[in-house]
Amino acid sequence: MNKDYLTHLIDWAEEDLDMTVNKNFNKRSSVTKRGGRPYLFSPNELSEKMIKYFRDCIEAGQPFMVTSLCLYVGISRRGLLKLEKSSNEQFVPIIEKGKAIIESYLEMQCHLKQNPAVHIFILKNMGWK
């Protein structure tokens, strides 16, 4: 695993997210007149947890995985997908950026491995053809 490349990628993502994330987000904005559960975290908290996950993985030499990211953040994979498709579009660029980092990591692994079948399989399930 190329730590310098991954660290640079995470630094770039963090700078980009700092510029795009709404810092004044109200977690209760998901609650309607009919009720509903407030968000678990704000977009800012999600991006901070996500960046911390990637930095911890680099430090420990662990691979980037969507399920591990979800566990680290404290949400299920299905919950992450639901949040990505929610009516609140402030979460979408954060989740897309996280998935793009994971895809970039997997793509890099395909180039580094003699038999990249597993990584190709995962990328195909992420929509690659």
**pLDDT tens digit string along 44-101?**
888 999 999 999 999 999 999 999 999 999 999 898 888 888 777 888 888 989 988 9
Candidate from 1-5, 14-18, 49-53, 105-109 with smallest mean pLDDT: 1-5
pLDDT bracket for residue 24 (50, 70, 90): confident
- As beta bridge partners, residue 32 has 35
More confident residue, 13 or 114: 13
* pTM passes above 0.95: no
Q: What is the pLDDT of residues 89-127, one digit of tens each?
A: 888 888 989 988 998 888 787 777 777 777 777 778 777
CA distance 9 to 13: 6
Report CA 107 to chain centroid distance, whole Å: 16
CA distance 17 to 5: 18
Residue 31 in 3-state DSSP?
A: coil
* Nearest Cα to Cα of residue 92 among 107, 102, 77, 80: 80
